[in-house]
Amino acid sequence: MSSPRPIIGITCPSRPTKWAKWELDAVVIPTTYHKMVSRCGGIPILIPPGSSTEIIDNIDGLIISGGPDISPEIYGQENGKFTIETYPEQDASEIALIKSAIKNNLPLLCICRGFQLLCAIHDGSLHQHLPQTDGYEEHGGWDGNVTEHGVNIIEGSRLEKIMGDKITVNSTHHQGVKDPGSLRVTAFSSHDGLIEAVEIEKLSFCIGVQWHPERIEHVSLYKAFIDSARGS
């Protein structure tokens, strides 16, 4: 008899969306997240924006998913010219969920936007538009385009134990982490040195990554996260 499958909450954005022939506010998220969670042994449930932290008591692991830019106000900046769509309600509920997960040592995996938010609330800051940031102009794809690049992972980190020291990732973001704040950086882009991953070592599992492991075959990272959630 195998142990019960852990329940994994996945946060979602909401935005004006075309639905059949009408347009309305809808919660939307790529199917890649819940499919990967299910494939790696978890029961995925989707958490809409505005959810209270009560949910934390009912799940075994939390994924803060990718999505729209976070409000620069969180890291003490004005909106840059390319930071257009922000969703303060989603920011607020995800910040509360991250804090509650950390406080309760609930396994936490932060992807892309989630990674940037994790850094921002630990006194970090972001580059608001990499294509116009010195040294990062050629970082990778954005605005719907996806490219690949190498990532070097720091020896001795949890991420290195899971994935090894050199990997290839997908890249589809126009913002990036400038300063990780109090978090430990565990990976950098091999071509330009951009921060690609962070972790909080004292927790049972808390990793943030800039890329989208659920869209490529990065099963090891999801499996390690879900194994940790099974134990919690």
Partner 1 sequence: MIGITTSVNMRDYETQDQSVVMIPENYPKAVKEAGGIPLLISECGDPNELLDILDGLIISGGRDINPRIYGEELHEKTTDIDNQQDEWEVSLIEGAIDRDLPLLCVCRGHQLLCAIRGGKLFQHLPTTKGFEKHGETGGKWSNHKIQLIPGSLIYDILGEEVIGNSGHHQGVFNAGDLNVVGRTTDGLIEAVELQSCRFLISVQWHPEMCGHKEIFERLIAVSSD
Could you tell me which stretch among 18-26, 80-88, 149-157, 159-167 binds partner 1 (CB under 8 A)?
18-26
The three-class DSSP label of residue 103 is: helix
CA-based R_g, the chain, Å: 17
Surface-to-core class of residue 122, CB atoms within 10 Å of its CB (0-12 exposed, 13-18 middle, 19+ buried): middle
Q: Cβ of residue 202: shortest distance to partner 1, in angstroms?
A: 29
Per CB under 8 A, does 51 bind partner 1?
yes
Per CB under 8 A, does 46 bind partner 1?
yes
Could you tell me which stretch among 10-18, 97-105, 181-189, 216-224 binds partner 1 (CB under 8 A)?
10-18
Per CB under 8 A, does 147 bind partner 1?
no
Could you tell me which stretch among 36-44, 102-110, 114-122, 218-226 binds partner 1 (CB under 8 A)?
36-44
Q: Are 194 and 164 in contact (CB under 8 A)?
A: no
Annotated catalytic residue 214: yes
Per CB under 8 A, does 66 bind partner 1?
yes
Q: Are 205 and 107 in contact (CB under 8 A)?
A: yes
The active-site residue out of 34, 173, 174, 212 is 212
Nearest-angstrom CA–CA distance, 6 and 28? 23
Near partner 1 in 152-181, by CB under 8 A = 172
Angle at 80 between CA 138 and CA 181, to 5 degrees: 75
Annotated catalytic residue 112: yes
Q: How far is CA 63 from CA 83, 190, 232, in A?
A: 23, 26, 15
Which residue type does 20 have?
A
Per CB under 8 A, does 149 bind partner 1?
no
Applying CB under 8 A, which residues contact partner 1? Answer: 5, 7, 12, 14, 17-22, 24-32, 34-35, 38, 43-48, 50-52, 54-55, 58, 66, 144-146, 172
- What are the catalytic residues? 112, 212, 214
